[in-house]
Structure 1
Amino acid sequence: MCSQRLKGLARVRKRPATGKTIYYCYAWRGGPLLRNDSGPIQPDDPALPAAHQEAHERRRNPNSTTMGGLITAYRASADFKLKAALTRREYDRYLDDLRSEFGNLSIGDLEAKETRVRFKAWRDAMSDRPRTADYAWSTLSRVLSFGKDRGILSVNIAERGGRLYRGNRRDKIWNSADINAFLAVAPRSLQLAMQLAIWTGQRKADLLKLKWSQCTIDVIRLRQGKTGARVAIPIAKQLRAELDLEPHVAETVLTTTRFKRPWTSDGFDTAWKLACKNAGIEDLTFHDLRGTAVTRLALAGCTAAEIGALTGHAMRDVDLILDAHYLGGRPELARRAIEKLEAV
């Protein structure tokens, strides 16, 4: 393959539902996707070397007078590099789309009201995937905001673009029946994942990376990948018992069911969805366990400061989270309030 001779080229192999393996070739790790009108350029395509060279030329001589140059400058900035690795990967996907679609737009174009109409049409073409459309628009706005902040643009025409996705997870709380139904059919590896989520309130990405070395007899210590917050989580007796049952067969606490290897995010999601299906659970996700943990703590009478100390949320955000996202426990809170009033 000609890709083997291209210095710095990064390749990612994918096998979509069609079963045919395709490659995503990037000019360098974290760099732009090399593509043409037919889609991602494959490793054996004669067009790959020229596209690779052109990308490196743009990197050496970024032209911030175009959208493509602005994207290159943004990727090279601390604004982008200091983001979490997962966030950068998500941004990369849409930055490549923006470069492909609008890379030749001039600074004048990027400040024109008419261009906002083009941007809206681009986003609305993804309206069948509203969350994707919103993320794409958010990425566009971030790039233009970077340009405005650096004095390249006088205005960000993507500000206040509105959202297409109207769903929320307000009532998406795992109740006791849901939890018990899942634990009754899920393999041991997923049972432990649920227990960790319920008792720590941490995100999936952080729990999948959790190492035994971060777990002492009574405390789990970790740095959250998304926020960088450091949290020390006391280990509840029930969680301690679950951890004591788990053999230390890998560096990470959570491992795949069959081969006892660290989970990939996609692999975990697939296994989790299958277990939910077997348990008859619909419209609940692993991420909803984070909200469930917050709600359980609130129902137990924990203060906002206590909840934030455990989950890593800023204290000022805890009440907002309960109000805006995790209202599933409010009826129970109201019931307990009346019980306390009656006891006076």
Structure 2
Amino acid sequence: MPKAKHDLPKGVHRVRRKVRAGYRWHFYAWRGGPKFWTDDVRKPSEPEFYHAFAEATTRPQPSKYMVPQMVDDFLSSTALPKAERSRLDLRKWGLRFAEHFKDAPAVIFEERGSRGEVNAWRAQWSHSPKQHDVAGTHAARILNWAVQEGKLAEHFCHKLHRLYEVDRSEIIWASSDREAFNGIAPDWVKRILCVACETGLRPGDLVKLTTAHVEKTPMGRRLHVRTSKRKRLAHIPITPELARVIDATPQGQLLILTNATGNALTPHRASEGVRQWRDKASLSSDLRLYDARGTAATRLLNNGLSLAEIANHMGWSIRFAANVIEHYARVSPDETDAVLVKLAQAKGGTK
């Protein structure tokens, strides 16, 4: 007699595991959910089995499970990202979300009208499109977690509209910008911008660079770095300009980049230092330390890396990398011809 297609309560995830005496079955409230029963038979029939399943899947009473409790459960869960900066950001916005909806039961997000409530909450940051969008992103992340954990049946805050749209491939540190910046900035800040423009590393990786990352190669030297965001190994050729910064690092100092007193930098302080002296040099307020990556992509092309290698190093698509380099060449007349020739060769599959 064929087995019934559905011989367990809907949603139960059953796993068979081998033991010394044969096999044993483990039952979970849902795939990835809590285990509520273990048995020697494939389909338990005892009433206790169904009672255990009901207890494992029972959500908190809608009238008692409030939004602050839901946020607290999320912030105490293993769903938080590993990066400290991301965790702090989630906590900040999660607590703001909980404060706004402190008198509401979590079940309100199962209603279609809750989408408007969330949009009204984040509208208080409409003057800052980036914060407006981040508020919605973190709210949706908390609600997604609540659904996955069975605390909500569903929610209606997916794909909230966004205000912040910018293509930063058009924003680069041109040669003239760097000259103006270097003309007034102190040495410790100039070193930050130089290393960023020569390596393309993010601020979080820049501040961790040490002389131990320098390796000798048959033709010179390179930096051997594991990036913090994607955990990829990057091998970056040391250009003459980057070599001058490395060689000028005081004897016995491990970190290549430090603050004015020789102490370790944070990513925020490195970015702020560049921003402050950018403003003093009367450069565009759109320029950030992060935008040095476009300059670095061009430098890497000039040092013989293929477009695929540059894209992999930057975490970009090959097309995006080519567009950034082409734009850089067009706004840097002193490099246009040589860079565009190399870019054409790279697109053609040669270095």
Query: What TM-score does the superposition give when structure 1 sets the normalisation length?
Result: 0.69
1:118 counterpart letter in structure 2: E
Q: How far 1:129 sits from its partner (Å)? A: 1.4
Residues 88-143 of structure 1 show CA distances to partners (whole Å, capped at 9, x for unaligned) of 11111101101111244324201111111111011111101111111111100111
Partner of 2:214: 215
Identity of counterpart residues, as a percentage?
A: 24
- Which moved further from structure 2: 165-174 or 88-97? 165-174
Q: 2 CA distance for matches of 1:163 and 1:326?
A: 28
Cα distance in structure 2, aligned partners of 1:166 and 1:291: 19
Shift of 1:147: 1.7
Distance 1:127 1:86 in 2: 23
Deviation at 1:330, TM superposition (A): 7.0
Code of the residue aligned with 1:83 in structure 2: it is K
How many angstroms does 1:190 deviate by?
Answer: 1.6
Taking the aligned partners of 1:333 and 1:93, their CA distance within structure 2 comes to 48
Tell me how far apart the structure 2 counterparts of residues 272 and 182 of structure 1 sit (CA, whole Å): 9
Corresponding letter in the other structure for 2:236: I
Residues 1:247 and 2:250 are matched in the alignment? yes
Instruction: Give the aligned partner of residue 126 of structure 2.
Output: 127
Deviation at 1:299, TM superposition (A): 7.2
Q: 1:233 to 1:145 in 2, by over 3 A?
A: same
Report how many aligned residue pairs link the two structures.
274
Give, in angstroms, the shift of residue 156 of structure 1: 3.2
**Aligned partner of 2:75: which letter?**
R
Kept in 1: contact 2:211–2:246 (CA 8 A): no
How does 1:278-317 map onto structure 2 within 5 Å?
A: 278-283=280-285, 284-297=287-300, 302-311=305-314, 313=315, 317=317
Q: Does 1:262 align with 2:303?
A: no
Whichever structure has more helix as a proportion of its residues is: 1
Aligned to 2:203: 204
Q: Is the 8 A contact 1:208 1:262 kept in 2?
A: yes
Residue 185 of structure 2 corresponds to 186
Moved more, 121-130 or 161-170: 161-170
Q: 1:296 to 1:244 in 2, by over 3 A?
A: closer
Task: Select between 184-193 and 133-142 the one with higher mean Cα deviation.
Answer: 184-193
After TM superposition, the score normalised by the length of structure 2 is: 0.68
| Bigger mean CA deviation after superposition, 129-138 or 211-220 | 211-220
Residue type of the alignment partner of 2:121: W
CA RMSD of aligned residues (A): 3.2
Letter paired with 1:291: G
Deviations 1:144-185 (A, max 9, x none): 111222233232322111111233323211111112222222
Deviation at 1:337, TM superposition (A): 6.2
Matches within 5 A, 1:41-52: none
The 3-state SS of whatever aligns with 2:280 is helix
8 A contact 2:302–2:339 mirrored in 1? no
What residue ranges of structure 2 are gaps of 5+ in the alignment?
1-59, 331-335, 346-351
Does structure 2 conserve the Cα–Cα contact (< 8 Å) formed by 1:299 and 1:329? Answer: no
Deviates more, 1:286-295 or 1:120-129: 286-295
Are residues 287 and 223 of structure 1, via their aligned partners in 2, closer, same or farther at CA, if it must alter by over 3 Å?
same
Partner of 1:3: none
Whether the 8 Å contact between 2:122 and 2:132 is mirrored in structure 1 is: yes
Structure with larger Rg = 2
Residues 296/227 of structure 1: CA separation in 2 closer, same or farther (3 Å cut)? same
Distance between the aligned counterparts of 1:142 and 1:232, measured in 2?
A: 35
CA separation in 2, counterparts of 1:251 and 1:337?
39
CA offsets 1:232-279 (integer angstroms, 9 cap, x no match): 32322331222101214644221112x111123443344322321333
Residue 141 of structure 2 is matched in structure 1 by 142
Amino acid of the structure 1 residue aligned with 2:239: A
